[in-house]
């Protein structure tokens, strides 16, 4: 499986298949990679998580490269992408830890089962206490959509809380 395949001229077909990156993108990467990694490391707390976040951020930047070149402040836009990726990765890690927690009312389990946008909105608003404007920026949706996701998440969480309240009432 690990045999080295070479063309008749000795070159590697895999190396030739790599597409060249735009020169400006490579320059942006070289200029920002260390700062991006430092920021992600501080936020995420581990080297591996920081590397994953920076890698995801640069893939996202590359995916939107042509549109980003039209922006008035490329640097500001790329940092915004990094921040969104780091927030996303933080929320995903929180979701995984939340499922492991035990709660008498089953709230953590119920939160872990929310659809991704509802989970993000409810955690950003009620756990991290972000305001609606900041949540809408992160999620890339309007303020009314943030409110909608929070409302729907609360509706999904109510049965877990209601069951606990009913059970507590029966014990008394």
- pLDDT by residue (tens digit) across 34-78? 999 999 999 999 999 999 999 999 999 999 999 999 988 998 899
Report whether pLDDT(171) > 70: no
159, two tokens: 């049965």
Band of pLDDT at residue 30, cut at 50, 70 and 90: very high
* pLDDT attached to residue 2: 43
User: Which residue in 59, 158, 164, 53 sits closest to 110, CA to CA?
Assistant: 158
The pLDDT tens digits for 79-112 are 999 999 999 999 988 888 887 777 676 788 888 8
The pLDDT tens digits for 120-161 are 999 999 888 999 999 998 888 899 999 999 999 999 998 877
DSSP 6: -
User: Which residue in 160, 159, 153, 156 sits closest to 139, CA to CA?
Assistant: 153
**Does this model's pTM top 0.85?**
no
Higher pLDDT, 93 or 168: 93
* pLDDT attached to residue 57: 96
Report whether pLDDT(12) > 60: no
Higher pLDDT, 15 or 96: 96
Q: How far is CA 26 from CA 22, 34, 62, 132, in A?
A: 6, 13, 10, 35
* pLDDT attached to residue 15: 52
């Amino acid at each position: 499986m690990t045999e080295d395949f070479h063309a008749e001229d000795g070159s590697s077909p895999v190396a030739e298949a790599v597409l060249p990156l735009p020169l400006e993108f490579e320059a942006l990467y070289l200029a920002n990679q260390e700062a991006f990694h430092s920021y992600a490391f501080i936020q995420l707390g581990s080297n591996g998580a920081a590397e994953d976040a920076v890698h995801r951020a640069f893939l996202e930047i590359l995916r939107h490269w042509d549109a980003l070149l039209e922006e008035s402040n490329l640097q500001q836009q790329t940092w915004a992408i990094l921040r969104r990726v780091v927030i996303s990765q933080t929320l995903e890690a929180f979701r995984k830890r939340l499922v492991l927690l035990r709660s008498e009312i089953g709230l953590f389990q119920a939160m872990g089962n929310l659809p991704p946008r509802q989970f993000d909105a409810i955690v950003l608003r009620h756990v991290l206490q972000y305001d609606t404007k900041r949540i809408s920026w992160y999620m890339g949706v309007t303020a009314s959509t943030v409110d909608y996701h929070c409302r729907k998440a609360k509706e999904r969480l109510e049965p877990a809380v209601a069951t606990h309240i009913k059970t507590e009432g029966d014990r008394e």
